[in-house]
Every structure is written in structure tokens, then in C-alpha cells.
Amino acid sequence: MPDPVIRPLVAGEAPLFHSLADPGLVGRAILGEPYRMVADGGDYRPDWTWVALRDGVVVARAAWWGGPDDEQPKALDWFDFADGEADAAVRLLREAPLYGEYDLLLPPGWRGQPEVLAAARARIDAATGAGLKQLVERYRYTWTPDDPLPARTGRLEYRPEPDDAAVLDVLLRVQEGTLDAHDLEEIAKSGREAAARETLDLFHWFPSPREWWRLAWTPGGELVGIQVPARNPAGFVIGFIGVLPEQRGHGYAYDLLVECTHDLVEQGADRIAAATDQGNFPMAANFTKAGYPVSQERINFV
């Protein structure tokens, strides 16, 4: 069997990417949104899309994604391969000079579906074989007007904070005792301030207005936390919810989530995406209480 040829696509080669059949059990295909290059009105760049070809036939493919102004990819969105071609897929990830966190998209309850479980296991094995590390499993939520809009609690007051230094201080304080695996990974790697700055950089990366960020206060003037409703290139999202450690235990994360939801609806959102680690039981319970259904499960690899 000849070695695969591994290379990026060039403009006009989207049909080559589509030539690899995908049963749509796991991965990006479960969204029902086709791969399209930027030139065709999509999100993907040809030089960030790589394929492995054997005798001219695509046997593995990967597509990295980034925002319109990003110089480096943010995420590995598409990654799949033909039956028996896991080795080619591993080589593809190793040889492509690109990096982005890989989110393996899965339907809810995927472990109870044998065909889906097998497809997921194949992707997991290939990703880890290429050197990626499984970091955390997450729930992805999607709120629409078909879901109930939770009533505001009225317990807190919300104010914009124009000073980045003040926001950074809140993010540093929120980190204490965090259950978020990404925060813990970044803190272990680079320290608390670098992790907080990375979160602040994400806020600035969102194309939504900075004025949407708001700090939450009790009527008595005690700072409680921060909530960031946002837009990313795909749509409206719950950008961030954080409660100061000394204010935990009062259910304030739910207040912030509800306020964030109302803010986005008032901005015209008819679809709101959100996510949390499966091990973050308090936040997962808040999403359930607020009427956010689980639309996907995801495994994050770094």
C-alpha cells in the first residue's frame, strides 16, 4: 500500500474535501452544516484544510477554523477518516503545521449507542495517537424561543465596567476554586494572571460590543461576579459567568445566567449557545434550571 500524500487544499478544491463519505454519527457532520470555504461563503480557508490522499483518493481530512481576523487557527473542527485509515489520520495531524483545540462533537447519550460509540472511539484513538490530550467532556446547550425564558430574579444590580484592569481583577478572583478544566489547565501551564488575561483576550476577541460586559452587585454594594453575553462568528453565546469565591453558595450563578440570557434576547437572539464541563455539577444544574436543553456532548482535546 503506498504512503499517503498529505497536503493542504487550494482554492476550488472543496469537492475533494467532500469526496470522503461521512455517516454523520459524530464530529462536525452531526450539525448538518456542510464544509464550505470562505470564498464560497463559508468559514474555512484552503490552507487550513488538509487531506491525506492514497492513489489520489481522500482517506483522511482535517479542517482548522479561525475568525476572519485570526492569523492562527482557534480550533480543529473537522477530523475524520475512512475505515482502516486511522494511521493516515494520525500522520495527517502530525504533519500539518497547524494547531487548534479539537472538539469532538457527539449526540447526547452517545455511549448508549453502539455505532456512535465505535465511531467516537476511533476518533479519540486517532487524536490521542497524534499527540493530543483528552482534557474534559462538556455539555453544549442551545436555547431557542421554544424553551421557556427564565424570569429575572431581581436580586442583583448589573453595571458596565469600562476598566480592563478592574475586569481582570474580577477574573483573577473568580479563578479561586474554579471547576473549569480549561482554566485549571492554563493556570497549571502559565499561572493565574496569564490564565485570566487569556479569558480577557477572549472577551475582546468576541465581535460583540464591550458594553455588554457587566459586573453584578448586591443592593448593598457588594461585588458578586461578572456576566458576559456575547456574539462569536457563529451567533449569540453565553460568553462567561463567574461568581467571586466569597459570594458562592447563594445561587448567584443562576442569577447571572438568567440575566445574560435576557440581555441576549433583548439584543435579538433567537438562538443562544452555551457550554460547561460535565463535572461542573452546579453550573450544569443552573443551565437545566434555566431551561437550556443539552444539544450535544463534546470531548475537548488539547
pLDDT digits (tens, 9 = 90+) for 28-87: 999 999 999 999 999 999 999 999 999 999 999 999 999 999 999 999 999 999 999 999
| CATH, domain range 157-295 | 3.40.630.30
Q: Domain 5-132: which topology? A: Aminopeptidase (3.40.630)
Q: Is the pLDDT of residue 89 over 80?
A: yes
Q: Is the pLDDT of residue 104 over 90?
A: yes
Task: Judge contact between 257 and 286, C-beta under 8 A.
Answer: yes
Handedness of CA 123, 128, 131, 134 (dihedral sign): positive
Q: Which three cell numbers stand for residue 209?
A: 460590543
CA angle centred on 290, ends 147 and 271, rounded to 5° = 45
Q: Which three cell numbers stand for residue 229?
A: 453575553
Q: Which three cell numbers stand for residue 87?
A: 494511521
Q: DSSP of 112-144, one letter per residue?
A: G-HHHHHHHHHHHHHHHHTT--EEEEEEEEEE-
CA dist., res. 49 & res. 63, Å (int): 4
CA dist., res. 134 & res. 132, Å (int): 7
CA dist., res. 184 & res. 283, Å (int): 16
Beta bridge partners of 106: 297
Count CB atoms within 10 A of the CB of residue 79. Answer: 25
Chain centroid to CA 114: 25
pLDDT tens-digit readout, 155-177: 999 999 999 999 999 999 999 99
Q: Is the pLDDT of residue 141 over 90?
A: yes
Pairing verdict, β 5-8 and 49-54: antiparallel
Write out the residue limits of the CATH 3.40.630.30 domain(s) in the chain.
Answer: 157-295
Whether this model's pTM surpasses 0.75: yes
Count CB atoms within 10 A of the CB of residue 60. Answer: 26
Identity of the residue numbered 285: A
